[in-house]
Amino acid sequence: MERPAAPAVLRLGSGSAYADDRLDSVAAMAASGRVSYLGFDCLAERTMALAQVRRREDPSAGQDRRIGRLVPLLRDYLTAGGKVVGNFGAANPDAARDDFARALREVGVPGVRIGVVHGDDVRDLVHEIDAELPELGTTVRALGDRVVSANAYLGADGIVGCLREDAQVVLGGRLADPSLFVGPVCHELGWDLDDWDRVGHATMVGHLLECGVHSTGGNYEDPPYRVVPDPHDLGFPIGEVQDGSVVVTKLPGTGGLVDAMTTKTQLYYEIHDPAAYLTPDVTADFTGLEVTDLGDDRVRVTGARGHERPATLKVLVGVDQGWRATGEMSYGGPGCVERARRAEEVLRRRLEPYAGEIDALRVDLQGVDSLFGDRMPGGYPTEVRLRLAVRTTSYDVARVAAHETELLYFGPAGGGGNTSSVVPALGVTPAYVPRELVPVTTEVGVA
């Protein structure tokens, strides 16, 4: 069967930038009729770690928890043929597929083809090759059972594979953020995944869309110096993609702003080296980009290049670090800093008997030194909040540490608003594995 002709302009919309993003923007985008693809980035390093914690506690959990609320908003969009790509799977892609299938049946949309990309779970592999953990100065085997997860950042290959099998919903686990858009762009425009300049262009498109409202003024706004209209109702970005260019815009009537400065702010966001932005798909080169403000919330970007993709894949390794205890207490008015310092002294002395079981202990005075230490002195505050954080392999010690902040109600004077918690501490650290050792498989079925 001949492949349909590529569209003159492919329109894609951002659906989310993290696991708990707002859904009202998705509803507006889906109802607009402006886009044929919605891309959902649902993960970050911290999000993936939390998903792994949930799956450790419940083997049926670990997927994105919004699916049941999201699908009803997409009912008409999917019925009209719109497509969805997202890393909804997090730590449990099969559970995400099941959630999608169930929700689709509940809203009366049968026959949707769902594609699942497998291969990111490489825990056995990193043990087998004893992968190095450069941030920790050790290897996977040296940590033994403390290594509880390992997920490789996968590229667009599996997404394209599912789309070629007519999947309308494509999901996976640790699909790399820009790859969620690289897959649809390359599939629809007929670009080969080793056409490096075009994949570099598609990666630039993905980078402009993956962070949601960052491209419409979210992290650009810096009052009083920079403000955007209606920041309570920021529109999500839309990319109108052609060979060699993309126009970034948003839905009319939504808040925020798309201009040259908001676009440039997102272009350099989280880019370590603009001449060699490493992704699973390509080594992208953004140094020759040209940004043209077209007015009316429309900006054209051209000039992305690409070089051969890296020989290794980045892996996010989850390490069991025991328990994390936190506790907070507020102090206000004259002498609040001195009373908070005295409370810190009390906490440290009370926890001295447990020093051998505490791996890390930190006390901050929020409003005084929690962000900049003594590098940015200011005036005396009217209020301050003490925060204790402890990491330990002993649950009992963690409980003691959290409880000690509550006991600060009994002095120094004037403490209030205590909160405390004890949660599993799962750290994440990178590793790198040869990409040929990570087989990517796809599975497409009808909901």
Domain boundaries defined on the chain = 10-119+154-310, 121-151+312-447
Q: So what's the pLDDT on residue 4?
A: 64
State the chain's mean pLDDT as an integer: 95
pLDDT grade, residue 373 (50/70/90)?
confident
Tokens found for residue 197: 């300049």
- pLDDT higher than 70, residue 27: yes
pLDDT grade, residue 44 (50/70/90)?
confident
Global pTM value: 0.93
Between 267 and 45, the higher pLDDT residue:
267
Tokens found for residue 405: 């902040």
pLDDT grade, residue 53 (50/70/90)?
confident
pLDDT grade, residue 7 (50/70/90)?
confident
Report the C-alpha gap between 11 and 234 in whole angstroms: 19
Report the C-alpha gap between 39 and 202 in whole angstroms: 13
- pLDDT higher than 60, residue 167: yes
Q: So what's the pLDDT on residue 378?
A: 80
Q: What's the half-sphere exposure (Cβ side, CA atoms, 13 Å) at 68?
A: 5
Average pLDDT for residues 386-393, to the nearest whole number?
98
Q: Are strands 305-307 and 277-278 parallel, antiparallel or unpaired?
A: unpaired
Average pLDDT for residues 404-410, to the nearest whole number?
98
Average pLDDT for residues 186-201, to the nearest whole number?
98
Tokens found for residue 346: 């009390």
Average pLDDT for residues 277-287, to the nearest whole number?
98
- pLDDT higher than 90, residue 387: yes
CB atoms within 10 A of CB 224: 5
Q: What is the DSSP string of 247-280?
A: EEEE-TT-BS--SHHHHHHHHTTT-S-TT-EE-S
Between 115 and 379, the higher pLDDT residue:
115
pLDDT grade, residue 1 (50/70/90)?
very low
- CA-wise closest residue to 362 among 378, 351, 353, 376: 351
- pLDDT higher than 60, residue 220: yes
Average pLDDT for residues 132-148, to the nearest whole number?
96
Residue type, 221: E
Q: So what's the pLDDT on residue 2?
A: 55
Average pLDDT for residues 141-168, to the nearest whole number?
97
Domain range 121-151+312-447, CATH class: alpha beta
CA dist 105 → 31, 92, 101, 410 (Å)? 20, 21, 6, 56
pLDDT digits (tens, 9 = 90+) for 226-274: 999 999 999 999 999 999 999 999 999 999 999 999 999 999 999 999 9
Residue 293 and residue 299 in contact, taking contact as beta carbons nearer than 8 Å? yes
- CA-wise closest residue to 199 among 284, 272, 312: 284
- pLDDT higher than 50, residue 429: yes
Report the C-alpha gap between 272 and 429 in whole angstroms: 17
